[in-house]
Each structure stands twice: as C-alpha cells, then as structure tokens.
Amino acid sequence: MSGVPGWEVVIGLEIHVQLATRSKIFSGAANRFGEPPNSLACPVDLGLPGVLPVLNEAPVRMAVKFGLAVGAEICPRSNFDRKNYFYPDLPKGYQISQFEQPVVGAGRLQVRLDNGESLEVGIVRAHLEEDAGKSVHDAYEGETGVDLNRAGTPLLEVVTAPDLRTPEQASAFFRQMHGLVRYLGICDGDLSQGSMRCDVNVSVRPAGQEQLGERAEVKNLNSFRFVEKALHYEIDRQIERRQRGLPVERETRLYDSVQDETRPMRGKEQSDDYRYFPDPDLPPLVIDDAFINAVQDDMPELPWERRRRFLEEYSLGGSAVGSSVELTDRASLTVKELGKADRTINVPGDDRVDKTIAEYDADRLTRDPDIAAYFEAVVAAVRNAKPTVAGGRDQDGREATARQAKLAANWILGELARHLNQEGLGFAECKLPAAALGALIVRMEDQTISGKTAKTLFDALWEGAAAGADGPSAASGLADALKLVDGMIEARGLRQLSDSGELKALVAEVVAAHPQQAEQFRAGRDKVLGFFVGKVMAATGGKANPQQASTLLREALHAPS
C-alpha cells in the first residue's frame, strides 16, 4: 500500500508520445509500425557517414498544438541538442533532443480523478526528440539484434512537475494525456505498440519534511495499470528501505510485470554525462505568431470542452446522483477495462437507471475521442428517428434527449465496451455501426422491445456485425438500421407483449400458482413483487414490459382472491 501513514509520496512523470506523422522527424523514411527489421531505416536513420538531419514540420505543428492545449508558452526560438551515449539502438551515438530550449514551456493539465475530483498537474516542459531503434535480446544465441525502423520516429516528451501524490493520480494523469493526444490527433495512442511510454520519478519523505527524498526512476511503462503497479511496488520498497534506515539509491529501474517488481536497470552501464550541446547540423527553430495562430485555428474540441458540452447538452443539469455516487467507489478503469467492470446498475433498460448524463459518464464518454464520437453518432441516430422520440428545446424534448443520451451511454459504456474488450478492440475498430445501436434504442424508447429482449437483440446485432453479415455491418444509415432491427425483432419474436389482456391472464396464472408468496406480499413484504415480475418475465421469455407487468401484478395481488 502506498498510503503508509507518516510518509508522503512525490511523483513526477515523463511521458514519451510518438507523434503520428507520415515520415520521421529528421528523415523522409516512413513512420510506421510492424514492418520487417530495418526496412524503414534510410541512410539518415542508419547514421551513415555524411548524412544530415532535416526537421519535419509536422512534429513541430503537433508539439505546438499540444502546448496550446495545456496553456503553455510556445518558445519562439528553440534548439536541438545532441545527447551523447553509445548504445546499439542509437545509430549516431547521440540522440537529437531538446535540452536547453524546448519548444513547449510550462503549462498545466486538469486531471479528472475517479473520485470525481480534479487535480491540476503542472507541466514543466515538452520537447521534441527522435526515438531510438529496438534491440531484440532473445532471438539469437549470445547476440542482440538491432532493428532501426523506430529510429527517428518523432517523440514529444512531456515532463510534469512533481505534483502527483499517489499511483492512482499518476495513472489518471497518464490516461488524461492519452485522451488528450488522441483528441489532438497527434498520436495513435496504441499503448501495446509503445506509442506512449511513461517514465515515473518517485520519492518518499517523512510527512511534513520540506526536502524531497532521493528519487528513483522507473522507465518505459506502457500501460495505465503498470504505472500504478510499478509505483505501488516502488513506493513500498522505498518506504521499507527508509524505515530500515537504508538509503534510497538514485537510479533507473525497470518494471517487471510478470514478477510485479521493479529492478535496477542493467546493461546500459553508461555514465550520466550525456555531454549535451547544440546540434551543429540544426540551426535554431524559430516559431512565429503566424504559425501559432494557424495551429490555434486548427484546434479540435478538447476533452474537457467536450465533457462540459456533454453535461450541458445531454444532462437535465447538475451532477446526477445515483449512478455516479455508486460508481465512484470502483477501481479506475481503462478504456479497454471498462467492459470488465461489474456494472450492477446501468443495466440497459433497468428502471433504476439514472436518466441523465452524470459526471462519471461524461468523464468516461469523453476520455477517448472514439467513444465520444460513437456516443454522439448513436444519440444523433436516435434523435433523427421520428419527431415523437426526438429531443428538443422544450422541457419534454430536453428530458427525452437526456433519457436517450443516458441509454446510449449505458449501452456504450456497458455492453458495447464489454464486447469490444473481449475482442481486444478499440472503439475505432467497432464493427457495430452507431446507427444500429441507435435503432435499438429507438425501439426501446417506443416500447417495441423490453430491456431484456434489447439485450438479446444487441447480442444478435453484435454477432451479425462481427461476422460481417450484410445487415448489421452495413446498416450505417438509421433507416437501414431500423429496417434491420425491426426485421430481427420480428424474426426472433422479441416484440414486447403489449396486449394487456394477454398479459393480465398470464399474471393471474402466476399469482394463482404461488399463493404463499402472494400472501407474503399482502402481508407487506413488497420485495416479493420482484419475484412475481421475474416469473412473468420468464413466462414471456422476457417479452413482457416489466413496468406493465408490475402494475398488473399489484392489481392482481391486491384484488380480493
């Protein structure tokens, strides 16, 4: 546990963001992942004798975009420096980086924590540099293979102030950064391919002590979970050493996710003397106001702006109670982990579902731009369905919008996220068109299907889409989607029992079959109603409207037998 009483933890992060450019930062070779070794390494990337770096404009634009998003000063004149050390994945024997004068100066980022609070984290600087290649240590006996495809990939290294105090805050910051760079369109955010890597600097000190403790750096963490786990381990290790009167060494460590521990980094027996100096091949980079203004004009909606808009546009106002309160106790969820959560509430169609977009949902919907876009597409599809269902500016319309939005949020963050997660897919790779989910919601809204059968319908849609069936995957327009959904409802007999006469007869049968329970209900045990609803739902194969069923049940149970 990191919350050891009497100790304060201080954490700062360095996050390396691979910029999604077409070509490399200093060469015209392609910036791609997953190609045969050294097939993307041109003479500049190989550091052949005589070659020279030429700066790609795109990484500069992206860095400025990031800088503006975090309210940072853009350095009008920045410099590229050489960081000198020998390693096989560093072809020139130096890395071109920015040491003295980074392109992005001090800024700040508001982090949404899982407890609903916000934390402002200072950004000290962000600078451009080139990535190194990759070493393959286990393929050849006694030898390391070097692949320089990654060499020269543009990186934006973001350095935070030591403003973080817990592993959870650290991973929340990393996640916030992950969302931000994807909103900005400057990084694909693919953590499994190392598109973002986090180095954590952590130290502990006795509570109340001014001076920082000696820090250790844990390098190359590429998941939110690893950031947390590595920090937990490292904090415990440091506190334990301090408690035993042992010093904490200033060193670089690596996290072993299999053993769940950090270990001192070996192999790079390098001196820390990197001999930084201005790269004589690259004169200073001058960024003028016109360039900055052009980037500013090109700014997309930022995650916190979208979050605010979602709350305003889709909420009846204020932070909703219920779901958000209950959910705040959960462990933090990654985008891909969302579906794994035990979503006891938020079951689609459940009557207890809150009708508005709560802060918690807004956080999750806007964390990932693909989720947000998917959500908006679903809501738009539902709105376009027909005037009676569509939301609007008047009170009824706004309520309808909020209700539909909540339904959409629940489906997206619940079932859909769970299915995607099972397949290891992101929202961008989701084969189920938003219109199809929209059509499903339309049919829930107009009482054609019940919440239970909606679930069956969803599974059918998902499987159809996954199988690439003509129907679901092609139903991109709402009209097509409704046609498809309606067809599936009929074909599978999912239509809700709306004939109250039929249902009434069924209710009477159920009540008659369980006299004991009926007696209990009449004696005041209201909870027994749920038992009867369940029986009715079972008897109808889920096609009854649970609300209607409970009304009829109450009537039947209270009626004199």
Partner 1 sequence: MDPFPSLRQLTDGLARGEWSSAELTKAAVQRAERLGGPLNCFITLDEEKAMSAAERADRRLGTVCATPLTGVPLAHKDIFCMEGWRTTCASRMLADFVAPYTATAMAQLEDAGAVTLGKLNMDEFAMGSSTETSCFGPTANPWSLEHSPGGSSGGSAACVAAGITVAASGTDTGGSIRQPAGFCGLAGLKPTYGRVSRYGMIAFASSLDQGGVLARSAEDAALVLSYMAGFDPRDSTSSKHRDPWLEAVPHAGVGELEDGHLTIGLVKEFFADPPAGAPLIDAARRSLEELGLRCIELSLPHIAMAMPAYYVIAGAEASTNLARYDGVRFGHRCADPQSLADLYERSRSEGFGAEVKRRILTGTYALSAGYFDAYYVRAQKIRRLVAQDFAGAFAQADLLLAPTAPGVAFRRGQLMDDPIAMYRQDAYTIPVNLAGLPALSLPCGLQDGLPVGFQLIANHFDERRLLQTGAALQRATDWHELRPSLDWAEAA
Partner 2 sequence: MSENDIKIDHLAKLAALRLSEDEQPGVLADLRRIIAMVDAMGAVDVSGVEPLAHPLDATLAVRPDQVTEEVDRRRYQAGAPAVRDGFYLVPRAVA
**Which H helix or E strand runs over 536?**
helix 528-539
57 binds partner 2 (CB under 8 A): yes
Residue 47 interacting partner from partner 2, partner 1, none (CB closer than 5 to 8 Å by kind) = partner 1
CA distances (Å), 6 to each of 208, 232, 235, 423, 513, in order? 9, 16, 13, 44, 63
Q: Which is nearer to partner 1, 53 or 102 (CB)?
A: 53
How far is it between the farthest Cα atoms of the chain? 99
The label of the residue with tokens 């963050």 reads 413
Query: How far is it, in rounded angstroms, from Cα 217 to Cα 396?
Result: 55
Structure tokens at 98: 């920015």
Q: Which is nearer to partner 2, 282 or 474 (CB)?
A: 282
99 binds partner 2 (CB under 8 A): no
Between 282 and 321, how does the x/- string for binding to partner 2 read (CB under 8 A)? xxxxx-----------------------------------
Binding site for partner 1 (CB under 8 A): 43, 46-55, 82, 84, 86, 88, 91-94, 144, 146, 148, 269, 273, 275, 277, 279-283
Residue 246 interacting partner from partner 1, partner 2, none (CB closer than 5 to 8 Å by kind) = none
275 binds partner 2 (CB under 8 A): yes
Residue 53 interacting partner from partner 1, partner 2, none (CB closer than 5 to 8 Å by kind) = partner 1
Q: How far apart are the first and last CA of the chain?
A: 61
* Interior/surface letters 226-239, b for 16+ CB within 10 angstroms, e for the rest: bbbbbbbbbbebbb
CA angle (70 as vertex; 173, 188 as ends), nearest 5? 65
49 binds partner 2 (CB under 8 A): no
Is the sign of the CA dihedral 182, 187, 190, 196 positive or negative?
negative
Q: Which is nearer to partner 1, 54 or 136 (CB)?
A: 54
Q: Which of residues 102-141 bind partner 2 (CB under 8 A)?
A: 135-137, 139-140
- Residue among 509, 534, 511, 536 nearest 521 (CA): 511
Q: Which is nearer to partner 2, 132 or 358 (CB)?
A: 132
Give the long-range contacts of residues 139-146, CB within 8 A, separation 24 or more.
144/88, 145/37, 146/88, 146/89
- Judged by CB under 8 A, the residue of 5, 50, 266, 501 near partner 2 is 266
- Judged by CB under 8 A, the residue of 4, 10, 30, 380 near partner 2 is 30
From 266-274, 378-386, 400-408, 472-480, span contacting partner 2 (CB under 8 A):
266-274
530 binds partner 2 (CB under 8 A): no
The label of the residue with tokens 């939110």 reads 224
The residues of the shown chain that bind partner 2, judged by CB under 8 A, are 21-23, 27-30, 36-44, 46, 48, 54-58, 60, 77, 80, 84, 86-88, 93, 135-137, 139-140, 142-148, 254, 265-267, 271, 273, 275, 278, 280, 282-286
